[in-house]
Amino acid sequence: MENYIVFDIGGSSIKWSIMRKNGCILKRGILKICETSDEFFETIIKKVKNNLIEYDLQGIAISSPGAVDCKTGIVGGASAIPYIHGPNFKEILKNATDLEVAIENDANCAALGECWLGAAKDINDCAFVVCGTGIGGAIVKDKHIHYGANKHGGEFGYCIVTYDGNEYLSWSKVGSTKALASNIEKRKGLPFDSLDGMKAFQLYESGDKIAVEEVEKYFTYMAIGIYNIQYTFDPELILLGGAISEREGYIEEINKKINKIMLSSKDGKVKPIIKRCVYGNDANMLGALYNLINR
């Protein structure tokens, strides 16, 4: 069976795996985010060449943040890694390895992975919300990704969910795990980057007063965003991805906030149906592979 190498670019690391055509993972690892674009591509190319012969690799699949142009291989928009926006991934990697290359937005990859083998395999219309260092998303209509006129279809993180008296704040700025951790750090006087989403929830579960208040806000922002998606797109299902979504009770807490919104507004009668991705953090890799195979 044919083998491929898949890279999932995240805000703080790059996950990679050797995968069979059927989605089976043979080998996996993690790479650190480099300081420069040159180092970034050198690291990826080295990993490809180190596995090229042993696994008889047939192609390179990439899941990336940002507004990805699948045809050109160029990543637009913005992300936590500024230098990935501009270089042509397809040209650079194909010229260095002589392998076919396909790149797709990370949230779209999660959607494709779950539509291929996961929680949405029997669903036609669904939306995906991926919560990490920012809020990503994807819209699937009739089993196909909706990209939009500007490649921003499903970029839910840009949606405005609150106003603090001075500025309108996006979902990513107030409702991501990075925002949650940062808010707790500031209120507790902790060093910058001393917390991440997992540590923030550990404080919450220990009963820390500040963490409890901030996590309650976090669940409210998640509920507002999901509620708005339901009444914008009206999907059959809204899937949640990102490591934080795998926590026990996570969806239940969001549903509680949605119930409060619906009781308060008294307008909407359709409650969103929410599930978590079956494949968790592997959904991006599955979708990236699916994207490569089907292009």
- DSSP per position, 4-66: EEEEEE-SSEEEEEEEETTS-EEEEEEEEPPSSHHHHHHHHHHHHHHHHTTTTEEEEEEEESS
Q: Are 99 and 48 in contact (CB under 8 A)?
A: yes
Query: Of the given ranges (125-129, 156-160, 242-246), which has the lowest mean pLDDT?
Result: 242-246
8 A C-beta contact, residue 73 and residue 91:
yes
pLDDT on residue 152: 84
- Give 213-216 contacts, CB < 8 A, sequence gap 24+: 214/180, 214/183, 214/184, 214/187, 215/180
**3-state secondary structure at position 268:** coil
Give residues with Cβ within 8 angstroms of 230, minimum separation 6. 238, 268, 270, 271, 272
The arithmetic mean of pLDDT across residues 106-112, rounded, is 91
Pairing outcome for strands 160-163 and 144-145: unpaired
- Strands 237-241 and 126-131, by their bridges, are parallel
3-state secondary structure of 163: strand
How large is the average pLDDT for residues 159-165? 94
- The number of residues making up the chain comes to 295
Token pair, residue 169, equals: 């704040």
Nearest to 128 by CA among 247, 141, 117: 141
Q: Which of 5, 1, 96, 3 is nearest to 288 (CA)?
A: 5
Backbone angles phi, psi at 212, to 5 degrees: -60, -45
| Cβ atoms of 62 and 6 closer than 8 Å | yes
Q: Residue 125 pLDDT > 90, yes or no?
A: yes
Residue 60 — pLDDT band, cuts 50, 70, 90? very high
Q: Report the alpha-carbon distance of residue 147 to residue 155 in Å, rounded.
A: 10
pLDDT grade for 167, boundaries at 50, 70 and 90: very high
25-32 and 74-76 beta bridge pairing: unpaired
Look at residue 133 in the predicted model and tell me its pLDDT: 82
Rounded distance, CA 51 to CA 46, Å? 9
Tell me the C-alpha to C-alpha distance, in Å, between residue 43 and each of 40, 50, 67, 126.
5, 11, 23, 35
pLDDT bracket for residue 81 (50, 70, 90): very high
Look at residue 77 in the predicted model and tell me its pLDDT.
83
